[in-house]
Amino acid sequence: MRRDIFQAIADPTRRAILTLIALQAMTPNAIAEHFDTSRQSISKHLRILTECELVKQKQQGREIYYQLEVKKMKELDKWLEQFRKIWESRFNELDKVLNKLKTTKK
């Protein structure tokens, strides 16, 4: 079953996992050490992130490492870019209004 990427990143634990593995690939046990939750709970989060293709698994010997799927994150960033432009435009307009208010008060 393919999951919705936005539902996946809506969970704070999954966002924290993404932040952790953005720096380096980690095993599920290493990831679980950073949380006050069960190993099974972390495995569930990793499964959801894998199904959404936000992380990928890499086998090294007996261990499975999870690493961030940068390509998928770039897709998210591209989608968010449209909103970033709107926010920047609104903030620029707000700056103009605030600057105008500052100069008229002097």
CATH number for the domain spanning 14: value is 1.10.10.10
Mean pLDDT score, 56-65: 95
Residues 82 and 64 in one domain: no
Residue 84 burial (CB < 10 Å; 0-12/13-18/19+)? exposed
Residues 5 and 48 in one domain: yes
Q: Read off the pLDDT of residues 2-11 as tens digits, 9 standing for 90 and up.
A: 678 888 999 9
Domain span holding position 8: 1-68
What's the total number of domains in the chain? 2
Residues 74 and 42 in one domain: no
pTM for the predicted model, two decimal places: 0.76
CA distance 32 to 100: 52
Mean pLDDT score, 71-79: 87
What is the Cα 99 distance to its own chain's centre? 35
